[in-house]
């Protein structure tokens, strides 16, 4: 197959890597890609937020499948345009992508599908926010209703900090459709968090291996929320039957509800869970592969990713065997630039990637990277790269990932030292 991957981050690098090392040979294009994807696939320029441009690119290159990586192009309607051009697309249309684009919408879907989740209030004024905060008490959980690149959530014991975050969210302009900005105030959920990716074809779903990511910037879960500073898979401590419970209580009911509403969901339903003292609860949905969990999940995939995604995009999940997994563990550690997650610094030299990849069981996935006028690799974003270690068990994978991190230099860089050592 000829496959077009839309995006430029480490997630898209991981997807491209999995496709180019698939059980069958495929021609892979990445739009717009990054210096890392250029080493294994063909980068092609495009504005990923321009649906017509992405669709035209897919037609021009006569691709058999488009895989949309990030959430913003999905919400912008890229999948709609690609399908309208007659090309199979793995990713929900704009209406279905509201499961990530609006937390209030996701709560409504969960309520209709009877999915277990946190109690919540949707607020459009600070007065409503204050009442909701008082109703739940600390710790306060405040979520931006819209897209925020994984950084729109504040969990704090400080009521004023919660109000400040809500105020910032509500100060955004109304949507093009005229909807007022909103925030979601939730009850705090105790227990470890788990990410489960469910590949959906509009009528059914199949789960990938669970993973756990580490959202906060610093060791011991200190500092602000980020887009994710590391992840690992499998989860030896996960309760038996977790995936089956997620499928029966969450994924399939949501797929049925979305179909009932006339907006069938095709793509990845990312289920973010808390395993609370009262049982499984959904924290959030995303409408695409998560980053950095994709880096470890796909590192363990033994069966064909291309076959699975094409079957989902064409409504034929039932025709392909379930995913198979390697016994090895995988750990990824994110190297972030100076200033992340606030105002990241760009243009710093990144060295040592080749040395890291010479180590056994280590590969590097680029994200916020670019090449300067001399062809040198430099930082160009907040999360610069992910180092993935694969080993016989979690400890070996972790040791290899950190050995890779030690080979790489980036002025002012940040990374956590406790990935896969404690539960996030």
Helix, strand, coil abundance in the chain, percent, nearest 5: 30, 30, 40
Instruction: Report which of 109, 114, 101 is spatially closest to residue 143, judged by C-alpha positions.
Output: 101
How much is the pLDDT for 172? 75
Task: Count the Cβ atoms, other than its own, within 10 Å of residue 314.
Answer: 17
Structural domains for the chain: 2-91 (3.40.50.20), 120-186 (3.30.1490.20), 193-319 (3.30.470.20), 329-410 (3.90.600.10)
DSSP-derived pairing of the beta strands 27-32 and 42-43: parallel
Task: Write out pLDDT tens, residues 16-68.
Answer: 999 999 988 899 999 999 999 999 999 999 999 999 999 999 999 999 999 99
Contact predicate 405/333, CB 8 Å: yes
**Helices vs. strands in the chain: H and E counts, helices first:** 14, 24
Contact predicate 66/53, CB 8 Å: no
DSSP-derived pairing of the beta strands 329-336 and 230-233: antiparallel
Go through the chain and tell me how many residues it has.
424
Lowest mean pLDDT among 6-10, 43-47, 152-156, 338-342: 152-156
Task: Write out pLDDT tens, residues 87-107.
Answer: 999 999 999 999 998 888 999
Does the pLDDT of residue 363 top 50, yes or no? Answer: yes
Mean pLDDT of the chain: 94
Task: Write out pLDDT tens, residues 185-223.
Answer: 999 998 999 999 999 999 999 999 999 999 999 999 999
Contact predicate 342/350, CB 8 Å: no
C-alpha span between 36 and 100 (Å, rounded):
28
CA angle 204, 200, 255 (to 5 degrees): 60
How much is the pLDDT for 424? 40
Contact predicate 150/225, CB 8 Å: yes
Task: Write out pLDDT tens, residues 318-342.
Answer: 999 999 999 999 999 999 999 999 9
10 Å CB burial of residue 242 (0-12, 13-18, 19+) is: middle
How much is the pLDDT for 175? 55
Q: Mean of the pLDDT values across residues 119-144?
A: 92
Q: Mean of the pLDDT values across residues 277-295?
A: 95
Instruction: Report which of 91, 50, 43 is spatially closest to residue 71, judged by C-alpha positions.
Output: 91
Contact predicate 357/364, CB 8 Å: yes
Helices (H), 261-349: 293-297, 305-313
Q: Which residue has the higher pLDDT, 175 or 218?
A: 218
Q: Mean of the pLDDT values across residues 248-256?
A: 98
How much is the pLDDT for 49? 98
C-alpha span between 87 and 130 (Å, rounded):
48
Task: Write out pLDDT tens, residues 236-250.
Answer: 999 999 999 999 999
- State the pLDDT confidence band at 176, using cuts at 50, 70 and 90: low
């Amino acid at each position: 197959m000829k496959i077009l991957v839309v995006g430029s981050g480490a997630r898209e690098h991981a997807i491209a890597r999995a496709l180019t090392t698939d059980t069958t040979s495929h021609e892979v294009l990445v739009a717009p890609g990054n210096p890392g994807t250029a080493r294994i696939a063909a980068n092609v320029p495009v504005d990923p937020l321009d649906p017509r441009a992405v669709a035209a690119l897919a037609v021009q290159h006569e691709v058999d499948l488009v895989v949309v990586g990030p959430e913003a192009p999905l919400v912008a309607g890229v999948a709609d345009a690609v399908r309208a051009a007659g090309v199979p697309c793995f990713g929900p249309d704009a209406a279905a992508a509201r499961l990530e684009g609006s937390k209030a919408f996701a709560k409504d879907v969960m309520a209709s599908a009877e999915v277990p989740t946190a109690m919540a209030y949707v607020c459009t004024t600070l007065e409503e926010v204050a009442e909701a905060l008082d109703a739940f008490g600390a710790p306060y959980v405040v979520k931006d209703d819209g897209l925020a690149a994984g950084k729109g959530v504040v969990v704090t014991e400080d009521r004023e900090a919660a109000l400040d975050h809500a105020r910032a969210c509500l100060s955004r302009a109304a949507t093009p459709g005229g909807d007022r900005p909103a925030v979601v105030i939730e009850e705090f959920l105790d227990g470890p968090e788990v990410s489960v990716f469910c590949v959906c074809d509009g009528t059914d779903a199949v789960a990938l291996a669970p993973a756990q990511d580490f959202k906060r910037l610093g060791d011991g879960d200190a500092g602000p929320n980020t887009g994710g500073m590391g992840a690992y898979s499998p989860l030896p401590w996960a309760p038996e039957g977790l995936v089956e419970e997620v499928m029966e209580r969450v994924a399939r009911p949501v797929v049925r509800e979305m179909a009932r509403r006339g907006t069938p969901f095709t793509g990845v339903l990312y289920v973010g869970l808390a395993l609370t003292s009262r049982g499984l609860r959904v924290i959030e949905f995303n409408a695409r592969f998560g980053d950095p969990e994709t880096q470890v999940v796909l590192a363990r995939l033994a069966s064909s990713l291309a076959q699975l995604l094409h079957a989902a995009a064409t409504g034929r999940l039932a025709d392909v065997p379930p995913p198979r997994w390697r016994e090895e563990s995988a750990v990824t550690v994110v190297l972030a630039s100076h200033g992340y997650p606030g105002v990241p610094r760009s243009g710093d030299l990144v060295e040592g990637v080749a040395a890291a990849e010479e180590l056994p069981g280590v590969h590097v996935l680029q994200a916020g990277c670019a090449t300067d006028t001399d062809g040198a690799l430099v930082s160009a974003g907040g999360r610069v790269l992910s180092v993935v270690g694969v080993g016989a068990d979690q400890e070996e994978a972790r040791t290899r990932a950190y050995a890779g991190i030690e080979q790489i230099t980036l002025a002012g860089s940040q990374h956590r030292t406790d990935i896969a050592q404690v539960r996030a």
